[in-house]
Structure 1
Amino acid sequence: MPTILVADDDANIRELVCLFLRNDGFTTAEAADGKEALSIYLSQPVDLVVLDIMMPVMDGWTLCKELRRASPDLPLLMLTARGETWEKVKGFELGTDDYLTKPFDPLELTVRVRALLKRYKIGTTQMIRLGSVTLDRQTYKIMIGTEALTLPLKEFELLYKLAGTPGQVYTRGQLIEQIWGLDYPGDERTIDVHIKRLRERFAHITDFQIGTVRGLGYRLEVTE
């Protein structure tokens, strides 16, 4: 699934936007200011950026300019409390593709995100194929050839997350935050337990393996 980066200094707005995007099947990343957003964009795959204008350190105007300089084909959606015509014009001149004014309807935002991804021909399929293994995010089912397999929800989400970006290393903290949420009361050993279970379930599969990166975390490795 496409990864949407949400850059806004309001933590409540970020949480709301990311919640609706994840519920719609997207992977999300968050940044509290423009500088952090640019750093995230340069360090991991990002398919679309939702950005606020008024942010500390680096504002949305500058971020928009830097992102467009780095990638002319990156979809950008400005999300801001300001709605004056001149600001919309400035945003489009700097390279934004769409503009949504706060307060906004989260459902409208997800529709606009999908429209932008379609315009840029970025796939929004919720199926991932790893050789003979297919993960379907809509039904939470896994097919191994013609055999169906149902996993506990968190195991599926963990495998789907790793399978979405083969080779990318995720720390335990990142996986806890993105799958269990920031308010999860447990510790990072939860990840180790779920990884062990996944390895046991797919021990007979040669299409992929979940590798441990010592001192960092885990990554899914596709077997050639």
Structure 2
Amino acid sequence: MTAPAGRGLVLVVEDEAAIADLIVRYLKRDGFGAHVESSGEGALAAVRRLRPVAVVLDIGLSGMDGVEVCRTMRSAGDWTPVLFVTARDDEVDRLVGLELGADDYVTKPFSPRELAARVRTVLRRAAGPPAEVLAIGAVRVDVAQRKVWASGTEVSLTSTEFDLLTELARQPGRVFERGQLLSAVWGYEASAGTRTVDVHIAQLRAKLGDSSPIRTVRGVGYAAS
């Protein structure tokens, strides 16, 4: 384990040593500390013991895979930001559709510089915004506390889902193109694919249920009203 640097400790869960070393090197360049685990069981123990600021989690682990690690964390009420590493885009679509609670993902082969940038983006979203409360329909968003209520019932969202909802709710009625949401919420251009936005919108609607204010504008994007 490297000592926690100024930006905090990132847990890297990867069973290929060469890839893990590369990720750690770039995280350290960005001012993060890093700890590596090669198994799902080790990852869960490290999350409890080290309280990392984020987890870079390979899906294809032997034994307990990354899917089960993330599911176990979320079931225990641990919403530490998780960034999946996977070999297939369609696999991520399926996983996110299962509402596992990942905040972002990269596909192999990936740029370690981009991965480090995505970790920064996820943490920036979770850093604590200024006081602000938004209300749209039956949904209320407390930006400062990063809490959401739908028809009076609190709803648990990932940091990505929260920021996506907040972006829409801050400008009710405005129609956002998918690329605009990708840039505003994820912090990078549409190279990751606008399908990412569609999947997270589907998650949000499922969690908000009948209270969801999000509507699809065919051929354009999404709006909240």
TM-score (norm 1): 0.51
The equivalent residue for 2:66 is 60
Describe the SS at the equivalent of 2:84: strand
Summarize the Cα distance change of 1:65–1:114 in structure 2 as closer, same or farther, 3 Å threshold.
same
Describe the SS at the equivalent of 2:89: coil
1:17 corresponds to 2:23:
yes
The equivalent residue for 1:74 is 80
The equivalent residue for 2:168 is none
1:2 corresponds to 2:37:
no
The Cα of 1:80 is off from its aligned counterpart by: 1.4
Q: Which has the larger radius of gyration?
A: 1
Give distance in 2, aligned partners of 1:27 and 1:35.
21
Summarize the Cα distance change of 1:19–1:40 in structure 2 as closer, same or farther, 3 Å threshold.
same
Give distance in 2, aligned partners of 1:91 and 1:14.
23
Q: Which runs of 5+ in 2 are unaligned?
A: 1-6, 130-225
Summarize the Cα distance change of 1:12–1:91 in structure 2 as closer, same or farther, 3 Å threshold.
farther
Q: 1:27 aligns with which of 33, 41, 45?
A: 33
The Cα of 1:22 is off from its aligned counterpart by: 0.7
Describe the SS at the equivalent of 2:110: coil
Structure 1 range deviating more: 28-37 or 64-73? 64-73
Please list, as runs of the form range in 1=range in 2, the aligned pairs for 1:1-224 lying within 5 A after superposition: 1-84=7-90, 86-91=91-96, 93-121=99-127
- Contact preservation (8 Å) 2:86, 2:106: yes
Give distance in 2, aligned partners of 1:51 and 1:36.
12
- Deviation string 1:91-118 (CA, Å, 9 cap, x unpaired) is 3511101010010011111110000001
The Cα of 1:120 is off from its aligned counterpart by: 0.8
Q: Which runs of 4+ in 1 moved over 4 A?
A: none
- Deviation string 1:189-215 (CA, Å, 9 cap, x unpaired) is xxxxxxxxxxxxxxxxxxxxxxxxxxx
Give distance in 2, aligned partners of 1:100 and 1:29.
19
Give distance in 1, aligned partners of 2:121 and 2:26.
16
Summarize the Cα distance change of 1:44–1:72 in structure 2 as closer, same or farther, 3 Å threshold.
closer
The Cα of 1:122 is off from its aligned counterpart by: 6.8
- Equivalent residues, number: 122
- Deviation string 1:28-52 (CA, Å, 9 cap, x unpaired) is 0101011111111111221100001
- Contact preservation (8 Å) 1:22, 1:28: yes
- Contact preservation (8 Å) 1:52, 1:60: yes
Structure 1 range deviating more: 67-76 or 28-37? 67-76
The Cα of 1:81 is off from its aligned counterpart by: 1.6
In structure 2, give the amino acid aligned to 1:26. F
Q: Which runs of 5+ in 1 are unaligned?
A: 124-224
In structure 2, give the amino acid aligned to 1:109. L
- Deviation string 1:157-190 (CA, Å, 9 cap, x unpaired) is xxxxxxxxxxxxxxxxxxxxxxxxxxxxxxxxxx
Indicate the RMSD between aligned Cα atoms, in angstroms: 1.8
- Deviation string 1:135-173 (CA, Å, 9 cap, x unpaired) is xxxxxxxxxxxxxxxxxxxxxxxxxxxxxxxxxxxxxxx
Give distance in 1, aligned partners of 2:31 and 2:83.
18
